Amino acid sequence: MSEQAAATFDGLGIDDRVRQALDDVGYETPSPIQAATIPPLMAGDDVVGLAQTGTGKTAAFAIPILSRLDASARKPQALVLAPTRELALQVSEAFGKYSAHMPDVKVLPIYGGQSYGVQLSGLRRGAQVIVGTPGRVIDHLDKGTLDISELSYLVLDEADEMLTMGFAEDVERILADTPDTKQVALFSATMPKAIGRLAKQYLKNPTEVSVESKTATAQNITQKYLQVSHQRKLDALTRVLEVETFDGMIVFVRTKQATEELAERLRARGFSAMAINGDLAQAQRERTINQLKSGSIDILVATDVAARGLDVDRISHVVNYDIPHDTESYVHRIGRTGRAGRSGTALLFVSPRERHLLRSIERATRQPLEEIDLPSVDDVNAQRKAKFADSITANLSSEHLDLFRGLVEKYARDNDVAMADIAAALALETRDGGFLMAPDPPKSERRERSERPERAPRGGGDFATYRIAVGRIHKVSPGAIVGAIANEGGLTRGDFGNISIRDDFSLVELPADLDNRTLDSLRDTRIGKHPIDIRRDQGPPRARGGGQYGRRREGGYAKRGAPKVAGRRRA
């Protein structure tokens, strides 16, 4: 990490309105990449950042840009290039969040697959921050609808991804259209040579920042992870809480707001949970920690800052509900359990996009994490039944039993009702009809629980083969195919299977359930000058051609003569 790394957001020259927005979203301290990047960017220097998604890199460049741009000038001042529509939208939402108190600042995402109308009116209204995918940015430059000749800030986000997706030429063209005076920030998860060359050619004496990871081992802590989408985390946590035997637990989240929200939701589900975050007065924080020590609460929902130095012996479990930004915080977080010679368990929730952070953690701690499945409905219900039986056993030794025994016996005699029925009716008083968890819809559970099979798109489901009308003779590369289709169709790289480039067409495996709107927008997509004319592939004709692709009756594609390729791989 850079020596100038900042421990707080104060004193960095961040615009007050941006600072306010950071408070609103509940960020307590800069993440390591932010601490290292914000100072040089605020000073006007170019930056090369080695940072993956999940490290907080978006705010690392958005905060300085918003702090320094001229909100009164209605022209593009900052351009962020991102490899996919999905990322462009995320980045532009993040800008929106951090500029919530800057009503004059307009942020506009421009990406393939969206109508030009919306983008044109956004550009005419004078957006200062443009977040776009390279292909669509070039389209606007060609049409003369986007003017970046007075740009002050250019960000290349996930630069390695842009290059692998075949956008090298587009990116360089865009760079060439911008003034020499602009400041450039380049972020990349990896640093292949091509990125080094790009940085060398287009960045001026850049400050290089990366998040160093410290090694640490924790032998008495069992480390596990659970793959779960963001939307299902709460459900996953409550299932874990029901099936795991734990004493005290800390659940880590990223923001102050999230501590309060999650603690509240856990309480609503019957768990004794409290929030601690950096906003709490010291006395209040201590009160809460004492409650955890004494066992009057079992679960603390905390931010990193609030849990710093926390030392409570009975913490048997740490749950990383939000994955930490860096491995150092991970090591610090899980060190809250396994205290005083006891053993501990650390569980990490990982969404599919965060898997690379999991790998960094495993590399840094030199310890593989064991994957566990989402506890099933059957597991949860078995626990509920067992706890029900336990509560009966416990109450049987109560001193108040005699009084109620008399009342129940009288009721049974008066009404001629079986004892089991009375017991069941009494159980209903404290537990309603929803005592058992309802079964999952089978498909979604399957998706959530299992690792994505190797030959299936990222979102689950199946691959199908599609045929596009560009091939070897058009000098097309797999990267260019992924780039064009991902951009215009709003897909991500995980949605691509095999790509097989033939002479005048190519076969591409994509999710089988692509809807018609996506296919329509893809049909107009071009690679270079050539329309890709995408269609579901019908396989080689059964005719004599010996497995060769020949002319098709339908649709009129594959008009340029049969290539000399036999057979094809099946998924």
Interacting residue ranges for ligand AMP, rule: CB under 6 A = 27, 30-31, 34, 53-59, 254-255
Nearer to ligand AMP, 48 or 480 (CB): 48
Count Cβ atoms below 10 Å from residue 142 Cβ, excluding itself. 10
Nearer to ligand AMP, 351 or 381 (CB): 351
Strand bridging mode 129-132 / 107-110: parallel
Nearer to ligand AMP, 61 or 505 (CB): 61
**Contacts with 294 (C-beta within 8 Å, 6 or more apart), sequence order:** none
Distance of alpha carbon 417 from alpha carbon 239, whole angstroms? 37
Helix, strand or coil, per DSSP, at residue 503: coil
Exposure class string for 255-268: b at 16+ Cβ within 10 A, else e: bbbbbbbbbeebee
Distance of alpha carbon 452 from alpha carbon 454, whole angstroms? 6
Nearer to ligand AMP, 37 or 77 (CB): 37
CB of 67 to ligand AMP, least distance (A): 15
8 A C-beta contact, residue 321 and residue 253: yes
Alpha helices in 397-469 (DSSP H): 401-415, 419-430, 442-449
Nearer to ligand AMP, 51 or 240 (CB): 51
CB of 325 to ligand AMP, least distance (A): 6
CB of 101 to ligand AMP, least distance (A): 17
Nearer to ligand AMP, 136 or 254 (CB): 254
CB of 303 to ligand AMP, least distance (A): 8
Please name the residue that has the structure tokens 């709107």: 517
Among 192, 131, 179, which Cα is nearest to 157's? 131
CB of 10 to ligand AMP, least distance (A): 13
Nearer to ligand AMP, 55 or 77 (CB): 55
Nearer to ligand AMP, 77 or 90 (CB): 90
CB of 254 to ligand AMP, least distance (A): 4
Count Cβ atoms below 10 Å from residue 284 Cβ, excluding itself. 11
Please name the residue that has the structure tokens 């069941």: 424
CB of 427 to ligand AMP, least distance (A): 43
DSSP string, 317-329: EEEESSPPSSHHH
CB of 25 to ligand AMP, least distance (A): 7
Dihedral, 451, 453, 458, 462 alpha carbons, nearest 10:
-140
Distance of alpha carbon 6 from alpha carbon 192, whole angstroms? 28
